[in-house]
């Protein structure tokens, strides 16, 4: 860039402009605050008080994230009719298996003469229909 004419030292007649003083920067209070902010930045500390707008925006963002997470959990909890029916069938099968296991355990724990009586009944039932047929 070209330098303005008044920067030349040749002309002593002209009044040279002076840089204006910023009253905010020259105030002692501003310098102290600026120094503190620089030190906190070097240490990695953020200013303690956030602007109100930033607080509100962060709160909205947190609330939205929580709401979205709850909706996802609710979507996982909801089951279709097919899933409900499959779950009922599985429960019924498990109950039937448990009942069979209980019956087997009862038969194993039963005395010998009760087992023999059951075997005799089965053989009679099997032999009965065959005799009636020929």
Give the residue among 31, 25, 7 at the shortest CA–CA distance from 17: 7
Return the DSSP state at 31: H
**Residue spans per domain, the chain:** 81-120
2 or 97, greater pLDDT? 97
Query: For 11-62, what is each residue's pLDDT tens digit?
Result: 667 777 888 888 888 889 989 988 988 888 888 776 667 777 888 899 999 9
Query: For 77-107, what is each residue's pLDDT tens digit?
Result: 777 788 889 999 999 999 999 999 998 888 7
Return the DSSP state at 27: S
| CA–CA gap between residue 112 and residue 128 (Å, rounded) | 24
| CA–CA gap between residue 47 and residue 35 (Å, rounded) | 13
Classify 44 in phi/psi space as left (phi over 0), alpha (psi -120 to 50) or beta.
Answer: left
Dihedral pair phi/psi, residue 88, rounded to 5°:
-65, -45
Return the DSSP state at 123: H
């Amino acid at each position: 860039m070209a330098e303005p004419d008044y920067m030349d030292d040749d002309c002593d007649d002209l009044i040279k402009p002076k840089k204006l003083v910023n009253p905010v920067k020259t105030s002692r209070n501003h310098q102290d605050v600026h120094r503190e902010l620089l030190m906190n930045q070097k240490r990695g500390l953020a200013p303690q008080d956030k602007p109100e707008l930033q607080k509100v925006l962060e709160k909205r963002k947190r609330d939205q994230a929580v709401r979205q997470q709850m909706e996802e959990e609710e979507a996982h909890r909801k089951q279709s009719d097919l899933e409900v029916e499959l779950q009922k069938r599985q429960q019924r099968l498990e109950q039937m298996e448990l009942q069979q296991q209980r019956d087997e355990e009862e038969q194993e724990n039963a005395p010998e003469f009760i087992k023999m009586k059951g075997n005799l009944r089965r053989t009679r039932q099997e032999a009965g229909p065959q005799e009636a047929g020929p």
